[in-house]
């Protein structure tokens, strides 16, 4: 039986800018889909907050996106996916997190079984990536590093190669992975692929970098074929943030390499 087109938007949620790494992939793989992006920029970072708080913010984000009539939600946030997805009340549409898909991609890529995991303090404390990898490849060795300074740097628009502060912070966080000889690194927070050029240059071309937002979108692209993709050639993207639009619009346009001005709106998300 033919699948009926579904022109409702796809919701993408992150604590800030990081989910744009999923949007970039969506624009390429599913150009006909409308996108509703929620970046909770007024409350970023989530990665240093308690589990209860992250669950509360996640449920508020789901409620907002459901109000936008989305057909599915991509949780383009490593922290929410690791800490809250098993515990938060889920909305009545499919929800895709980043942990399982990124762990599967890492296991498929590694040759020596040594996998680095970079994440926020909350993600690393949860052990979510490591548990998933252990199930998929019990012989794998994981080397995990919490990188609390990466999210504030990215949110401040500092992710270019040659930025002295960025280079210094990256070299400190990557040292244990270099010493361990990992051949695959999960950029376990969706903000980190914005630093991929710097991280890749430090790790060397022989090391595979796994982009969790992109992996989630690849999963969603095949799911959409079964569930009903949009039947238009080009969709639209709307961005909602919980802090000022200017900084977000600037970094988003730079990262996505397309104008976003006019499609970014500040909202008040319910404070519970």
Which parts of this chain interact with ligand DGL (CB under 6 A)?
14-16, 18, 44-47, 77-79, 120, 123, 151, 189-191
Which of residues 85 and 142 has its CB atom nearest to ligand DGL in the complex? 85
- Pick the closest to residue 32 from 217, 236, 216 (CA basis): 236
Nearer CB in complex with ligand DGL: 230/251 = 251
90: which 2 tokens? Answer: 């889920």
List Cβ neighbours of 169 (8 Å cut-off, separation of 6 or more).
147, 149, 150, 153
Of the pair 81, 184, the CB lying nearest ligand DGL is at 81
Closest CB 37 distance from ligand DGL, rounded Å: 12
Q: Could you tell me if 102 and 86 are in contact, meaning their C-beta atoms sit under 8 angstroms apart?
A: no
What CA–CA distance (Å, rounded) separates 49 from 249? 25
CB of 271 to ligand DGL, least distance (A): 17
Query: Given the complex with ligand DGL, which of 14 and 100 has the nearer CB atom?
Result: 14
Decide if 116 contacts 200 (C-beta within 8 A): no
Q: Taking a C-beta distance cutoff of 8 angstroms, is the pair 54, 84 a contact?
A: yes
Nearest to 6 by CA among 71, 74, 62, 94: 71
Smallest gap, in angstroms, from Cβ of residue 130 to ligand DGL? Answer: 15
Torsional class of 181: left (φ above 0), alpha (ψ -120 to 50), beta (otherwise): left
Q: How far is the CB of 182 from ligand DGL (least distance, A)?
A: 20
Active-site residues, by number, are 77, 189
CA atoms within 13 A on the CB side of 6: 19
The nearest distance, CB 154 to ligand DGL, in angstroms, is: 8
Identify which of residues 152 and 228 has a Cβ nearer to ligand DGL in the complex.
Answer: 152
Residues 44, 155: Cα–Cα separation, whole Å:
9
């Amino acid at each position: 039986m033919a699948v009926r087109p579904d022109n409702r938007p796809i919701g993408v949620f992150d604590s800030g800018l990081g989910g744009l790494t999923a949007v970039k992939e969506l624009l390429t793989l599913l150009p006909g889909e409308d996108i509703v992006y929620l970046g909770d920029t007024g409350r970023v970072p989530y990665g240093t907050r308690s589990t209860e708080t992250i669950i509360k913010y996640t449920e508020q984000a789901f409620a907002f996106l459901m109000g936008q009539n989305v057909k599915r939600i991509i949780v383009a946030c490593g922290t929410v996916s690791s800490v809250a997805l098993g515990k938060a009340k889920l909305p009545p549409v499919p929800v895709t997190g980043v942990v399982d898909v990124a762990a599967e991609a890492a296991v498929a890529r590694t040759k020596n079984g040594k996998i680095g995991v970079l994440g926020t303090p909350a993600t690393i404390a949860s052990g979510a990536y490591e548990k998933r990898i252990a199930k998929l490849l019990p012989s794998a060795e994981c080397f995990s590093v919490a990188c609390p300074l990466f999210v504030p740097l990215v949110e401040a628009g500092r992710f270019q190669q040659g930025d002295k502060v960025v280079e210094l912070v990256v070299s400190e966080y990557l040292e244990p992975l270099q010493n361990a000889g990992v051949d695959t690194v999960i950029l376990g927070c969706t903000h980190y692929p914005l630093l991929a050029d710097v991280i890749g240059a430090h790790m060397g071309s022989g090391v595979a970098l796994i982009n969790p937002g992109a992996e989630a979108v690849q999963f969603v692209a095949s799911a959409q074929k079964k569930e009903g993709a949009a039947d238009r050639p080009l969709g639209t993207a709307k961005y909602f943030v919980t802090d000022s639009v200017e900084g977000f619009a600037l970094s988003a346009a730079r990262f996505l390499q397309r104008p976003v001005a006019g499609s970014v709106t500040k909202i008040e998300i319910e404070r519970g």
